[in-house]
Amino acid sequence: PRQSVRKNLDFEPLSTTALILEDRPANLPAKPAEEAQKHRQQYEEMVAQAKKRELKEAQKRKKQLEDRCKLEESIVQRKTGPLVAGHPPSVRGKVWSLAVGNDLNITHELYSICLARAKEKWKTTAAPTAETETEDAGSSDRESSLELIKLDISRTFPQLCIFQQGGPYHDVLHSILGAYTCYRPDVGYVQGMSFIAAVLILNLDTADAFIAFANLLNKPCQMAFFRVDHSLMLTYFAAFEVFFEENLPKLFAHFKTNNLTPDIYLIDWIFTLYSKSLPLDLACRVWDVFCRDGEEFLFRTALGLLRLYQDVLTCMDFIHMAQFLTRLPDLIPAEQLFQHIAAVHMSSRNRKWAQVGRVVFTTFTDGADANVPALATPLFECQC
63: pLDDT strictly greater than 60: yes
Model confidence at 298, pLDDT cuts 50, 70, 90, reads very high
Task: Give the rounded distance of the alpha carbon of 351 from its chain centre.
Answer: 33
The pLDDT > 90 percentage for the chain reads 41
- Tell me: the pLDDT tens digits for 209-248? 999 999 999 998 898 898 888 888 898 999 899 999 999 9
Taking the C-alpha atoms of residue 352 and residue 252, their distance in angstroms, rounded to an integer, is 19
More confident residue, 216 or 86: 216
324: pLDDT strictly greater than 50: yes
Taking the C-alpha atoms of residue 358 and residue 239, their distance in angstroms, rounded to an integer, is 9
- Tell me: the pLDDT tens digits for 100-125? 999 999 999 999 999 999 888 888 76
Question: What is the residue extent of each domain of the chain?
Answer: 91-124+141-218, 222-365
Please provide the CATH number assigned to the domain covering 222-365: 1.10.472.80
The 10 Å Cβ neighbour count of residue 135 is 12
Taking the C-alpha atoms of residue 248 and residue 246, their distance in angstroms, rounded to an integer, is 6
- The pLDDT assigned to 86 comes to 59
- Stretch 293-319: mean pLDDT: 94
The domain made up of 91-124+141-218 has a fold known as Helicase, Ruva Protein; domain 3 (1.10.8)
Beta-carbon contacts of residue 7 (< 8 Å; ≥ 6 apart): none
